[in-house]
Amino acid sequence: MLEGKVVIVSGSSRGIGATLAKGFASQGAYVVVNYNHSKESAEEVARACEKLGGQAIAIKADVTTEEGVNQLVEETLLTFGRIDVLVNNVFAPYIFDAENRKKAWEMEWQDYEIQLQGGLKAAHLLVQKVLPNMTNYGKGSIINISSNLVEHPVIPYQDYITAKAAIIGYTRSMAKDLGSIGIRMNAVAPGLVYPTAATKSTKEEQKEMLADATPLGRIATPEDIVGPVLFLASDWSGFMTGQTLYVDGGLVMR
* 126 within 8 A of 216, measured Cβ to Cβ: no
The three-state DSSP-derived secondary structure of the chain is CCCCCEEEECCCCCHHHHHHHHHHHHCCCEEEEEECCCHHHHHHHHHHHHHCCCEEEEEECCCCCHHHHHHHHHHHHHHHCCCCEEEECCCCCCCCCCCCCCCHHHCCHHHHHHHHHHHHHHHHHHHHHHHHHHHHHCCEEEEEECCHHHCCCCCCCHHHHHHHHHHHHHHHHHHHHHHHHCEEEEEEEECCECCCCCCCCCCHHHHHHHHHHCCCCCCECHHHHHHHHHHHHCHHHCCCCCCEEEECCCCCCC
Q: Can you tell me the distance from the alpha carbon of 170 to that of 89, in angstroms, rounded to the nearest whole number?
A: 14
* Confidence band of 201 (pLDDT split at 50, 70, 90): low
What's the pLDDT score for residue 198?
66
Q: Can you tell me the distance from the alpha carbon of 164 to that of 146, in angstroms, rounded to the nearest whole number?
A: 5
- pLDDT tens, 229-251? 999 999 999 999 999 999 999 99
* Confidence band of 107 (pLDDT split at 50, 70, 90): very high
Q: Residue range 4-29: average pLDDT?
A: 97
- Assess whether pLDDT exceeds 90 at residue 79: yes
- pLDDT tens, 55-73? 999 999 999 999 999 999 9
Predicted structure pTM score? 0.95
Residue 140 β-bridge partners: 183
- Residue 227, Cβ neighbours under 10 Å: how many? 13
- Residue 252, Cβ neighbours under 10 Å: how many? 18
What's the pLDDT score for residue 23?
98
Please indicate whether residue 246 is annotated as part of the active site: no
The architecture in CATH of the region 6-247 reads: 3-Layer(aba) Sandwich (3.40)
| Phi-psi map region of 202: left, alpha, beta (phi>0 left; psi -120 to 50 alpha) | beta
Per annotation, catalytic residue among 157, 160, 170, 246: 160
Of 176, 171, 74, 75, the closest CA to residue 132 belongs to 74
Calculate the dihedral angle through the C-alpha atoms of 133, 179, 240, 7, rounding to the nearest 10 degrees: 10
